[in-house]
Amino acid sequence: MQKEAPKIFKVDPKFKHELLKITGAEKIMLCFQCGTCTADCPVALRVNEFRPRQIVEDARLGLKETLFSGDTLWLCTGCYTCYERCPQDVKVTDMIAALRTLAVKEGYIHPSFRMLIDSMAKNGYIYEITDFENELRADMGLPAAPKVNLDEVSKIMKKTGLNKLTGITMEEG
């Protein structure tokens, strides 16, 4: 039987320091790899490649390529079960969100997230409220949903640099 060549991973010891600076990721060094997060995760229960405990370890090792390629990072639903039950208070959910912000900085953004943010810039909502919804509201005797101040949304996105970061186009106010 032929032996499989060992897989080579590129570690980046500096990566964890970058991550530790982000709100929510400050406690990753406290993780003792007990696996509670993975055991209680609704996604890990059904998807083999999604393992929150592994994500913490990969992040500490700086396995950027493993973390950023594919849609692993984007499979977390944000349910906070792991956050609630981690004996070391690692705040895994917030750490995954922090990892996503780093992925975005390096040009990795899940296409579905780009679409949602795009909608936010155009409509002021992740899911647009259209005339159809407002007609339904009218049928029930409700006033139309308040109109978003899009000028303000666009000013925020420009000031924080979100438009440049994600390459989305803004509605001109």
Partner 1 sequence: MAEALGVELVDMKGSGCCGTTYMESIDHKTGLAMAARNICIAEEMGLDIVTLCNGCFEVLTKVNKILKEEKKLRDEVNGVLIELNREFKGTVEVKHFVKMLVEDVGIDKIEGLIKRSFKGLKVAVHPGCHLLRPSDIMEFDDPEVPIFFDSLINVTGAQSVNYPNKLECCAAALLAVREELASKIALEKVATVKKYADIMVTSCPFCYLQYETSQITASESYDVSVIHLPQLLGLALGLNYEELALYENRIDTSKIKEFL
Binding footprint of ligand SF4 on the chain (CB under 6 A): 31-37, 41-43, 52-53, 56, 76-82, 86-88, 90, 92-93, 96
CA distances for 130 relative to 10, 72, 120, 147, angstroms? 48, 33, 14, 11
Element (DSSP H or E) covering residue 36: helix 36-39
Q: And the tokens for 50?
A: 């999604």
Residue 110 tokens, joined: 């899940």
Phi/psi of residue 88, nearest 5 degrees: -105, 5
Among 7-15, 51-59, 60-68, 71-79, the segment contacting partner 1 (CB under 8 A): 71-79
With contact defined as beta carbons under 8 Å apart, do 124 and 151 qualify?
A: no
Q: Which tokens in the block code for residue 5?
A: 């060549």
Interacting partner of 160 out of ligand SF4, partner 1, none (Cβ under 5 to 8 A depending on kind): partner 1
CB under 8 A: which stretch of 1-9, 12-20, 29-37, 43-51 binds partner 1?
Answer: 43-51
- Tokens for 17, please give them: 């320091």
Considering only residues 20, 39, 162, 170, which one is a binding residue for partner 1 as defined by CB under 8 A?
Answer: 162
Instruction: State the residues that interact with partner 1 by CB under 8 A.
Output: 22-23, 42-43, 46-47, 71, 74-75, 77-81, 83-84, 91, 93, 97-98, 100-101, 104, 109-110, 112-113, 115-117, 120, 124-127, 136, 140, 143, 146-150, 152-153, 155-157, 159-162, 165-166
